[in-house]
Amino acid sequence: MRVHRIDVAERRARLVDRHRLSPDNRAGSALAAARSVVVLHSTDPVTVYLSIHARADVQPADIEHELYEERTLVRMLGMRRTLFVVPRELVPVVHAACTRSIAARERGRLEKMIGESGISTRPKSWLTRASTAALRAVEARGEAFTSDLTKNVPVLAKRLRFGAGSRFEATQSVGSRVLPQIAMEGRVVRGRPRGTWISGQYR
């Protein structure tokens, strides 16, 4: 039997077809476009829309509908501690393979920052209480930005300190770390951004 050898040109042609970049094999939806490449990079929010538009004839409103209404696509932290847009059926796979271990490391880092910033001498239990309160506030509101939650959970407005004593010294609200932390732990998901689809500030 003759062996068919795939050369570089054929390999590239197959990838173009499989990744829905061929004019003859366009995806029928944002979800189908994402599935064709497994997940979509999302550190820059615009990248998701450009990646899908390259593969499917859809509008930003169609993509937003799948992301925030149907929830067939979910924005989450994954490989390399980077944001991705993931087909819903792959969320538990990505979470188990990547996000769970990242969440454990980041929680330890956050506990250390809470202690070093003088917020609490028992940072582990403090963070557990703050996370639980933040989660309850999100459940009560349905969705929220960090600035919204500080009205319900005032401790989230406490400040973390960075680079103390250096010219790079800065502060950040602990709430801006708590919400991403509980998202990494799979307890909440990112919602609509503030403003338009090019914004990276998510509810």
At 122-158, the pLDDT tens digits run 999 999 999 999 999 999 999 999 889 999 999 999 9
Domain boundary among 73, 90, 107: 90
Are both 174 and 99 inside the same structural domain? yes
What whole-number distance in Å separates Cα of residue 124 and Cα of residue 103? 14
Do 181 and 188 contact (CB within 8 A), yes or no? no
Q: How many C-beta atoms lie closer than 10 Å to residue 13's C-beta?
A: 13
- Residue at 56: amino acid letter: A
Distance of CA 63 to the CA centre of its chain: 16
**Sign of the C-alpha dihedral, residues 51, 55, 59, 64?**
negative
What pLDDT is attached to residue 180? 95
Are both 177 and 102 inside the same structural domain? yes
Range(s) of the domain holding residue 161: 91-184
Are both 85 and 95 inside the same structural domain? no
Domain boundary among 90, 120, 155: 90
* Statement: residue 87 has pLDDT above 80: yes
Q: Residue 195: inside a domain, yes or no? A: no
Distance of CA 55 to the CA centre of its chain: 21
Count of structural domains, the chain: 2
Distance of CA 41 to the CA centre of its chain: 10
Q: What is the dihedral of CA 136, 43, 177, 98, to 10 degrees?
A: 80
Using 50, 70 and 90 to split pLDDT, how confident is the model at 167? confident
Do 22 and 16 contact (CB within 8 A), yes or no? yes
What pLDDT is attached to residue 162? 84
What pLDDT is attached to residue 156? 96
Are both 105 and 154 inside the same structural domain? yes
Q: Residue 194: inside a domain, yes or no? A: no
**pLDDT tens for residues 54-72?**
999 999 999 999 999 999 9
- Tell me the angle at which helices 123-141 and 175-184 cross, rounded to the nearest 10 degrees: 80
Q: Residue 97: inside a domain, yes or no? A: yes
**pLDDT tens for residues 22-53?**
999 999 999 999 999 999 999 999 999 999 99
Are both 95 and 176 inside the same structural domain? yes
Mean local confidence (pLDDT), 103-112: 97
Domain boundary among 58, 73, 90: 90
Are both 141 and 161 inside the same structural domain? yes
Q: Residue 190: inside a domain, yes or no? A: no
